Amino acid sequence: MSGTSPGPDGLPRCAWCTATAQYLRYHDTEWGFPVADDRHLFEKLCLESFQSGLSWRTILEKRENFRAAFAGFDFYQMAEFTEADITRLLADKGIIRHRGKIEAVINNAKRACALVAEAGSLARFLWGFAPSGAGAGQQAAKDLANALKKRGWAFIGPTTSYAFMQSMGLVNDHAPSCAIRPAVEQARAAFTKPA
């Protein structure tokens, strides 16, 4: 993530985000900013699983449809989904209708409930994998994927874990000269500062 391109305001942004206005908004207001809300963290894990093999733009365009279809990503509600819900979701043209991914996120909702019981919150568990040194993100993503797999999570490998870590602020992969990088660094510093 080293290159930048000028945004519509002339300021340098990560090159990937200047392709569409939707990417630009996501980049400037969400990508890399730290998140502690369990529902939001779970949503992102689910959406990253659905994104596998597709463009992130496809997921962004369908994000509100996913939220409606999956009970706002309330993992306690999703853990109660039945075969009838799977049938409903497979018929929903507003989302990615992939049986394996749908079944995986429902499974992961059940695993999320167990993880909250184990760790106190998803945030506490997931942020425990935030790398402390530069260049340690890939290993941290492997460790996170392995820890989730050990607990029965599905459809989350190292690539998905790393994309999750980038987007939720566990790492700051904004390009060094990206105009948004300092704001993300400031948000991360405030977020991780001891109480």
**Contact between 81 and 102 (Cβ < 8 Å):** no
Question: In order of start, what are the domains of the chain with their CATH numbers?
Answer: 12-32+172-195 (no CATH), 37-171 (1.10.340.30)
* Tokens found for residue 140: 């941290």
Residue 26 corresponds to which tokens in the numbers above? Answer: 């996501």
Q: Could you tell me the two tokens for 121?
A: 């919150």
What pLDDT sits at residue 195? 45
pLDDT per position in the chain (195 positions), as tens?
Answer: 458 999 999 999 999 998 899 999 999 999 999 999 999 999 999 999 999 888 899 999 999 999 999 999 999 999 999 999 999 999 999 999 999 999 999 999 999 999 999 999 999 999 999 998 767 889 999 999 999 999 999 999 999 999 999 999 999 999 999 999 999 999 998 987 554
Report the SS3 class of residue 178: coil
Cα–Cα distances in angstroms (integers) from residue 83 to residues 12, 71, 108, 111, in the given order: 48, 16, 15, 18
Bridge partners of 12, per DSSP, are 6
Catalytic residues: 26, 48, 56
What is the pLDDT at residue 194?
53
